[in-house]
Amino acid sequence: MQERLVSKMKQDGKMITVAVSEEEITEAFNRERAQLPKRPATVTFRQIVVSTQASAAAKKVAYARAESLYTDLNTGGDFEKIAKRFSQDSGSAVQGGDLGWSRRGQMVPAFDQMMFLLPPGQISPIVETQFGYHIIRVDRVQPAERKARHILIKPTYDSADVALARLRADSVMASWKKGTPFDSLVARYHDLASDEARGVLEPFERSRLPESYQTAFADRTDGDFITPFPVEDAQRGVPKFVVAQLVNAVDAGDYTMQDLRNQIREQLTQEKSYRRLLDSLRKDTYVSILLDAPVKAATDDR
């Protein structure tokens, strides 16, 4: 409640940002340092996630299956029943393909674009994404949202596809080491459908990282390139490969003022601004009472 009030007052220009000095930051840190918990060990890294790709033959088989279902739908087939029986999106298939409400940008680009083009009730042509082949139907429309269903047919993967993905990850690592810009490698190879972020990440606590990451970063130092390692791709059911560089590793220990400087500055700034606002409100209220007092007295005299 207080945070919302402060935010609203900042927007309205009623709360003025107050400067905080280095002396105040140092004083606040020294006052609280005895109560601070231990700083956990952290790692900061950047990564490119290389996914396993289906072969052209497997994609051809999956497309043919999607095409057959598309024909059934356009000759009177029930979308929900076909989705329940054949869709390979386990999360939505049991709901007849229902994806619920989605805002623009929540889905991968090709799916998102088609979903916002479709009028309610119309079945889309087959749409290819990183996950496979989709047939989409929009049920309801709001200005910024769509309530849609889909049927997903995935291509199959085999050990040869996984082996090729590993070779591609090794190639990405070799190019990176030779000086190919990280951003260009991300644009070309990073799996946009993956949950893993790319680029330089915020520090992660070592103990909270997945076990595969903890193992990969063990005994590594700043600047080290990490041999590509596999992680689970739950969406495809096959491994994908992480190509990473350790940017910074910090051991567990006591927090320093440098660790907390920005956090302390922000907290002190908010506290001082809030106190100034309260002082201003009290002053305005006091003046208001003084101005009203003679009127009340005059009324009493009558």
Q: pLDDT tens for residues 250-300?
A: 888 887 777 788 888 888 877 777 777 676 666 666 555 555 555 444 444
Q: Give the pLDDT confidence of 171-182 residue by residue, as tens digits.
A: 999 999 999 999
Asked if residue 212 lies in contact with residue 232, where contact means CB atoms within 8 angstroms, the answer is no
Which amino acid is present at 150?
A: H
Tokens found for residue 192: 């946009």
Beta bridge partners of 48: 243
Mean pLDDT check: name the lowest of 3-17, 48-62, 222-236: 3-17
DSSP structural state of residue 15: S
**Confidence (pLDDT) at 281:** 64
Q: How far is CA 35 from CA 32, 38, 48, 257, 264, in A?
A: 6, 10, 39, 14, 14
Alpha carbon of residue 61 to chain centroid: 33
Asked if residue 111 lies in contact with residue 129, where contact means CB atoms within 8 angstroms, the answer is yes
pTM tops 0.85, yes or no: no
HSE-CB of 253 using CA atoms within 13 angstroms: 7
**Confidence (pLDDT) at 190:** 92
Asked if residue 239 lies in contact with residue 50, where contact means CB atoms within 8 angstroms, the answer is no
Crossing angle between the packed helical segments 56-73 and 79-86, to the nearest 10 degrees: 150
Q: Give the pLDDT confidence of 76-88 residue by residue, as tens digits.
A: 999 999 999 999 9
Model confidence at 66: pLDDT above 90: yes
227: closest CA among 183, 187, 169?
169
